[in-house]
Homo-oligomer: A and B are copies of this chain.
Amino acid sequence: MVRVGVVGASGYAGGELLRLLLKHGKVDLTFATSKRNVGEYVFRVHPNLRGMTELQFIDNDVSKMAGLADLVLTALPHGQSIQMISQLASSGLKVVDLSADFRLKDPADYPRWYGFEHPNVELLSKFVYAVPELNKDAISRTSLAASPGCMAITSILTMAPLFKQKEVVVDRRHVVVDAKIASSGSGGKPSLSTHFSERFGVLRPYKPAGHRHTGEIEQQLSWLGGEPVTVSMSAHAINMVRGILTTCHVFYEGDVQNSTVWKMYRGLYSGKPFVRLVKDKKGPFRLPDPKVVIGSNFCDIGFEIDERGHRIVAIGAIDNLIKGAAGNAVQVMNIMLGLDEKQGIYDAPLHPV
């Protein structure tokens, strides 16, 4: 069995990594680090894991990690992992990073979206931005992968066929992504804006413009279509703990048939185990809804054509902690290790929940 460790395992993405790796079946979880919780039982921080493991957190000591694992999943806050990952990479460890630190290919994007100059541009170029549905081959050949941001992967998967498949002429300047995200996406640190009485029942437009994931989405859609795309994204906090819905408003030219768009989506996603195309004629869940992906690594995708407005409304839904974080990272890990990409993460969502 391959030995894997998790760095930065006390946050929500870290907790999900532990949950998934503990039941994985083909890897051994050998360590979990947390600077704040060294020596503490993992289940004291992640109460769902009570009874599932006696693992205790260890410190972030890179020198020991190489001896303990073959591959490391890192889930540190943005900006904090660059140095550690440089060390891990030079120790010969495979790395799947869940932070934003190695996602953007153009070094100029770091000051633009994150406010700092990237200190290790050479390493940046070695990382693969890992969306298994779009670049599985590249992932299978790399030892360094950056797992996308949660709203980024949803938006990219939702719109990829529209930009990659060339059967519809889309307007690359007026692409609106109206994203809705549950609370766990903002992490586990209490504040006034996450205080239950203030947070319950909101529909809070917390980032109407300038959300950092915009950079990733533009990067990938431009790469897929071979032409620059400008994305206008707005992010809203919603009254749930898990889940993302991205409503992508994409204008087109000329006439477009339902069957054409279907073909584009089927063409790209046929045989992809974690994408479900959802476009039924009836029923409460005839289009994607985060409610029916919770607990799974699925990305549900559907669309509707608005002929009056010359608009395709493409819609994607995921569990932000799974396909938007830990689940995608494990899927990437599986591919990097030559395993079945579904290994350990092919769970049905819970319903109703």
Contact = CB atoms under 8 A, between A and B. Distances in A.
A200 B180 contact: no
A296 B287 CA distance: 28
A288 interface: yes
Given A195-B195, A353-B242, A353-B294, A348 B22 contact: yes
Nearest to A307: B209
Contacts of A247: 178, 205, 208, 234, 236
Given A197-B183, A200-B200, A205 B52 contact: no
Contact of A190 (B48, B192, B280, B296): B192
Contacts of A273: 51
A305 interface: yes
Interface in A273-311: 273, 276, 278, 280, 283-285, 287-296, 298, 300, 303-306, 308-309, 311
A190 B188 contact: no
A289 B298 CA distance: 28
A289 B238 contact: no
15 contacts: A19-B348, A47-B292, A52-B348, A171-B174, A190-B194, A193-B284, A194-B195, A197-B352, A201-B240, A201-B294, A203-B289, A205-B289, A208-B315, A234-B313, A238-B239
Given A44-B280, A234-B247, A238-B238, 16 more contacts: A12-B197, A23-B348, A48-B292, A174-B174, A180-B236, A184-B352, A190-B194, A200-B200, A203-B290, A204-B287, A208-B303, A209-B305, A209-B306, A209-B309, A209-B311, A294-B350
